Amino acid sequence: MFYAYVLFSPTTNKIYIGYTSRNPEERLFAHNNIEKGSYTSKFRPWVLLFWEVFDTKAKALGREKQLKSAAGRRFIREFISNQD
């Protein structure tokens, strides 16, 4: 299994989009607690907005790429707005 996932930092209003073969909640823990000197370490804490499951790495990477596009980022910002 592969996952495309979206993190949000409510304190800095930053979005992080990634993919992983690990459980997304484990990746969230790593972003918040383990990784040092990475992009995500500068904007902690992160919350996991959502993730999607794929059967291949290529599909997860494709979705990650789509979410990083302008349309994908609009979708994510609208998703965040609807959570309030």
The pLDDT value recorded for residue 37 is: 78
Say if residues 64 and 7 touch (Cβ distance below 8 Å): no
The pLDDT value recorded for residue 84 is: 66
pLDDT per residue as tens, the chain (84 positions): 999 999 999 999 999 999 999 999 999 999 999 988 789 999 999 999 999 999 999 999 999 999 999 999 999 999 999 986
Instruction: With H, G, I as helix, E, B as strand and everything else as coil, classify residue 55.
Output: coil
Both tokens assigned to 32 = 């918040």
The pLDDT value recorded for residue 76 is: 97
Q: Between the CA of residue 60 and those of 49, 52, 54, 74, 80, what are the distances in Å?
A: 16, 8, 6, 19, 21
Both tokens assigned to 27 = 């990746």
Give me the domains of the chain, ranges plus CATH numbers.
2-83 (3.40.1440)
